[in-house]
Amino acid sequence: MNIKIQKTLIILAVAALALSTGCPNSAELNSPQNSENGILTINMGDPNETRTILPKNANIQCNYFSLVLTALGKRVERDWSGSTVSIELSPGSWDLTLIGYSDANRQNIMVNGSVNGIVVSSGQTTSTTVQLQPVMVFNQTGYFIWNINYPADVTSASMVITPLNTSNGSPQQTINFTGGDSKNNSSSPLTLNTGYYKVTFSMTGGERPIGRVDYMHIYENLESYFSYDFIYGLQHSNSIEMVLINPGTYTRGSNNSDDYGASPPHQVTLTKGFYMGKYEVTQEQYQAVTGVNPSSFSSSPASGEVQQRRPVEQVTWYDAVEFCNKLSEQEGLTPAYTITGRSPSSGYPIIGATVTINWNANGYRLPTEAEWEHSCRAGTTTAYNTGETITDNTGWNSNNSGSRTHEVGLKSTNAWGLYDMHGNVMEWCWDWYGSYGSAAQTDPRGATSGAYRVVRGGSWNYYEQALRSASRIDYSPNYGSSALGFRVVRP
């Protein structure tokens, strides 16, 4: 029987600590039995937090682990189940590999992780944490099941399945549908070679063309699911998936010294709802609209991550607003911005222009700073939308990013369904940067003029303070950085 994979976050369910070799467990290893040795404590982290996508938002139980430690002329291997283990080792520099399996025979590798150069010292305890990533076994087959609902007035639709790793031997396939209805192949799954795939769904007829681009992993003997309900106005042809943000009143800012530039706190009321991008704009989305990908991190994603779904960065504020206009034009919407005096007149990056906004336009735009913080907080009043203190799952920052950006959507959403509001890349806002006042404000749109635009959210290379919900930073609109991207909103 096939193991079914649903699009829900993977939880690595780990049992109580046990070493199958009879080596003392962590409770017994308060000090080395041989005084010349040291103790290495290895953490998988909180087993109740998400570790990886396998495939994107999959639920697989990885209950079986093998731990391998190597040093010059030495090798220690253990079977391990648990979230923490302590091992007595001789002094030296050790390399660690942790492999996770879905079966007790340890034949189906699902995840692995490694840490190199761990220094173990005589009579001392050293700690390290292993981050796990999915492992793909190629040259095997798995199964693809879709369940798609779209409006009844759609006359035809298609789904193009494109392999992203060319070595897996699968050709691009196109599945055509006719008539608006629910399309489901659960009774006859499509067999595909194991690998990474891009799924492009589009439709014609009806109110207006809409569609979606997504990605999936096909694993050996597993069923991967693609399930979406398409609604006019929410799914768009360049995969800008939107979340409805309702109007409301909240306290913006803070008197906490860790919240940069956020004093004094004051009441803000937003009288109109809007749609906000569920994710930061990705490299694929940006290139599809502009024809270029300026990102510094344009290759070598973290293991198991999809390069095209990393956030675009190295975009100036001017680049971001032009992207909004181009995307609006492609979707038949009224652009929000009028851009004149563009410098350079063509090409990127744009380092200067005069930009005005039509607030009544129905096209895409950058969020105001007030809209951004309202959306980030999602009803919370704490330092982060995950609580008063940062956790590994709050967002990508200098402590957990590995000095690079990551595929969007790998951390948990906030309460309103938005990903990466804390970390990964900073996000441009519409507003000129200016000081706050203490008076209550309704639908604020920032200072009337200035030299710098507001940036929010923190990034992969910032410390945790910069990720706080109230923290604000200012950059020149002609500035680009490998830590700076954006997301979009529209009415």
Dump the DSSP string for 371-434: HHHHHHHTT--SSBTTBSS--TTT---TTTS-SS---TT-SPP-TTS---SSSSSEEEEEEEP-
Rounded CA separation 239/285 (Å):
7
Reported as a single tens digit per residue, the pLDDT across 46-80 is 433 333 333 333 344 556 777 778 877 677 777 77
In terms of pTM, does the model score above 0.85?
A: no
Stretch (H or E) spanning 318: helix 317-330
Give which of 261, 217, 214, 253 is closest to 236, Cα–Cα.
214
Rounded CA separation 291/289 (Å):
6
Reported as a single tens digit per residue, the pLDDT across 269-296 is 999 999 999 999 999 899 888 889 999 9
Reported as a single tens digit per residue, the pLDDT across 351-373 is 999 999 999 999 999 999 999 99
Rounded CA separation 304/396 (Å):
16
For 143, which DSSP code? E
Q: Note the pLDDT of residue 222.
A: 72
Region 444-460 average pLDDT: 96
Give which of 177, 194, 193 is closest to 185, Cα–Cα.
177
Rounded CA separation 114/272 (Å):
48
Q: Note the pLDDT of residue 372.
A: 98
Q: Chain-wide mean pLDDT for the chain?
A: 80
Rounded CA separation 229/203 (Å):
13
Reported as a single tens digit per residue, the pLDDT across 401-441 is 999 999 999 998 999 999 999 999 999 999 999 999 999 99
Paired sense of beta strands 173-178 and 133-134, if any: unpaired
Task: Name all domains of the chain by residue range, CATH numbers in brackets.
Answer: 3-134 (2.60.40.1120), 141-229 (2.60.40), 242-490 (3.90.1580.10)
% of the chain with per-residue pLDDT over 70: 77
> Can you tell me which residue has the tokens 């803000």?
268
SS3 content of the chain, % helix, strand, coil (to 5): 10, 35, 55
Paired sense of beta strands 472-475 and 453-456, if any: antiparallel
Q: Are 250 and 374 in contact (CB under 8 A)?
A: yes
From residue 475, alpha-carbon distances to 75, 363, 406 in Å are 51, 25, 23
From residue 404, alpha-carbon distances to 411, 424, 475, 478 in Å are 15, 8, 21, 22
